[in-house]
Chains A and B, each alone.
Chain A
Amino acid sequence: MQSDAQLVQAVLSGDRAAYGALVQRYQRAVYAAALAVLHDRDAAQDAAQDAFVIAFEKLGSLRDPGAFGGWLLMITGRHAMRRSRSPLRWVPIDAADELPADSSDAHGQLDEAAQQMLDALGRLPDHEQRVLMLRYFDDHPVAAIAQMTGRAIGTVTKQISRALQRLRDRLKEKNP
């Protein structure tokens, strides 16, 4: 599996398809980050698409290709925030039919526990958000995450462990 840095370099060298691998890798994380801000699935989907396109356009300015994930999540957060404050934003779409029935209601709203978890996740440091999303949302093994992020397996394991601890603390603050 290629690391983020390798994929970024490949895109900058002209391999546009390498960006597809990055999109596949981060689409769930980006979507989650947008949803944490917008609380609306359709708006989050649009914002996530925009964030990927913006990141592609600005890829040449990314100082450290290995930091792609964090950088992308930052772009997503800023873009989602900008969308959320558009005063006349009209969101005429409700894709409830598209969604699996789980922790969201018929209108695509997350249930309270899921929303709290998402909010708490959004308050973790970028690198911890990234490893948790890759591990639990996309089910990547630790070794694969280590390759993607360019870190040692031990470092990723520690990051996940610390992130879980921090996440648990944040959730306890909310629900003592």
Chain B
Amino acid sequence: MTDNQKLEQELVRLGKTLTPPPFMADAVMRRVEALPLPQPTFNTTRRWLMRTSIGLAAGLTIATVLWLTLMGSSTPLYAQVDQALKEVRTLHAVAYVRDNGQWAQKGEIWYELGVGIAVAEKRAGRLHRTVDDGKTLVQQVEGEQPISEPSKLDFHSMMTEALNLGAFRDNVDRDPSGDRPIQGTPCKSFLSLELRQQGREGHRFWIDTNNWVRRMERGVFREGQWQPNSALEVAYDVPIDRSHFKVDLSGQKVIEPQRARDALLSLDGALFKTEKMGLIFAVHQVKRCEGNLIFTLCSIRPSVETRKQYGRSRWGIYQQLCDYQLDGSWKRINGEERWYQPCHLASLDPNELSAEGIYAGWWLLIPKGVWREKVQTWEVGVNVYCNGPLGEDLQKQGKPWHGTYRDLASLPLPDAETSLQNLVDNLHADAKTLSTPISMVHLYYATERSANGELFRRSALPGKLSKEKFLDEVRREIEYLKKPLQ
């Protein structure tokens, strides 16, 4: 057997392993059937911007789409359960999985109102611990450095997220035949609608007279028999050992991404900032780079007022309210055109925990057209986009949800050039410092060419892409972008 044949065999074997459950396609189509048909919506400006940054902008809206996907209308049952949770003083939940027909404990959640929430679970054989006392969120993964962040979720949202109560967003049916006492408390049984169809996986819930979920199971009906594969059992207002909320970080080197974010992206230290459409755009770094390139780090975030109005967490998920693209600073001087081709090098996405909703991007501006003299300044221009509920409200009010702002400022460029290698090395180091499981910087690079010479753009986390490889890829992309558009 040749090497190729062996590899092909391995691929076939892997494919068999990766068979998705048969109900997955059905589940997708059921969700799709409930959605309005998609309409061509592509905005011309945005299309141009996307082409200039090789399709990168598409990724930026995913969080918004995800949010909208998750924000299906809530059922009265969900509202009742959600409301009842607010009355909870303490909670202890135990998660089980069924292994070879036997239930095995997989993790636990402890919660005490005003004290904190702690989650412990085994993933891939390692203990993952998350503790949030309302001030600080600490994540510990066995064998790795702990991560500490200022707490961003309120207690109610933490609990809703930890208990995965989003399952209630789907419609559920009352199922009196399943009523039974749980922990000695009479409970009513409910079934998620997926379970109406044979072979589909769904949830069963048992809810007590306080509208507290006492037990949740996920599984499937086979030949009329309920076959759960996981369960979560919840006890309320029970004594909780507060040691679960304590974390001993003494003697450990703690990663503090928030501190690094503040150092790089604070508004106080920004070279320039301006408020547009309820959003604050800021320039944090501008450097002259070899080959007349300009390197810059810019960010956008909701203003305090916007955050107050739109940035609240619902079901533990923060909404992305904004993004931006740098403008090309196009000018016609004495009949000659000149502009910059923005090249997006990396981005810090507004993460689920960041109530500030900061979206930051590192860019190279590549001069195109005719530049007769050495440039001394960068005329800042930006396209600002309002997303999520902010954008929706503006559209409902008939106001524009995005805007282009040119010549916002003329920022001086330093005389000295910084080498591309130096800039990329620093960016790579910053990205590593900022990247944690809860807040990631994605490095963007163009990689292999297709048959027609087009470069494919990819992203990688800094831990997965060496600075040397990143530099090579950036150089390749600059070379590609310097060519005239076809």
Binding site for B on A (CB under 8 A): 11-12, 14, 16, 19-20, 23-24, 27-28, 31-32, 35, 39-40, 45, 48-50, 52-54, 56-61, 63, 70-71, 74-75, 77-79, 81-82, 84-88, 90-100, 102-104, 106-107, 109-110, 113-114, 117-118, 121, 125-128, 132-133, 136-139, 155, 158, 164, 167-168, 171
The B86-108 residues at the A interface (CB cut-off 8 A) are 95-100, 106-107
Q: Report the nearest A residue to B435, measured CB to CB.
A: A85
How many A-B residue pairs have C-beta atoms within 8 angstroms? Tell me: 233
Q: Report the nearest B residue to A39, measured CB to CB.
A: B124
- Which one, B68, B97, B351, contacts A93 given CB within 8 A? B97
Beyond A53-B35, A88-B132, A93-B229, 17 additional contacts (C-beta under 8 Å) are: A19-B32, A23-B25, A31-B24, A54-B65, A54-B69, A57-B35, A61-B40, A63-B50, A75-B62, A79-B62, A87-B352, A88-B158, A92-B96, A97-B98, A103-B17, A117-B11, A136-B12
Binding site for A on B (CB under 8 A): 3-4, 7-8, 10-21, 24-25, 27-29, 31-33, 35, 37-42, 47, 50, 55, 58-59, 61-63, 65-66, 68-69, 95-100, 106-107, 109, 117, 119, 121, 123-124, 130, 132, 137, 139, 153, 158, 161-164, 201, 216, 218, 227, 229-232, 316, 349, 351-353, 437-440, 447-448, 450-451, 456, 458-459
Closest chain A CB from B194 CB (angstroms): 11
Please, how many angstroms separate the alpha-carbon atoms of A19 and B316 in the complex?
A: 31
Please, how many angstroms separate the alpha-carbon atoms of A125 and B39 in the complex?
A: 29
- A167-B7 contact in complex given A28-B15, A87-B438, A93-B229, C-beta closer than 8 Å: yes
Q: Is A113 touching B31 in the complex (CB atoms < 8 A)?
A: no
Please, how many angstroms separate the alpha-carbon atoms of A17 and B68 in the complex?
A: 23
Q: Is B316 touching A88 in the complex (CB atoms < 8 A)?
A: yes
Closest chain B CB from A72 CB (angstroms): 11
Q: Is B98 touching A114 in the complex (CB atoms < 8 A)?
A: no
- A102-B13 contact in complex given A27-B20, A53-B69, A54-B62, C-beta closer than 8 Å: yes
Residues of A within 8 A of B97 (CB): 92-94, 96
Please, how many angstroms separate the alpha-carbon atoms of A17 and B353 in the complex?
A: 38
Q: Is A103 touching B439 in the complex (CB atoms < 8 A)?
A: no
Q: Is A87 touching B130 in the complex (CB atoms < 8 A)?
A: yes
- A61-B58 contact in complex given A90-B121, A90-B162, A114-B14, C-beta closer than 8 Å: yes
- Which one, A27, A87, A113, A118, contacts B25 given CB within 8 A? A27
Q: Identify the interface centre among A50, A87, A90: most chain B CB within 10 Å of its CB.
A: A87
- Which one, A32, A49, A90, A117, contacts B31 given CB within 8 A? A49
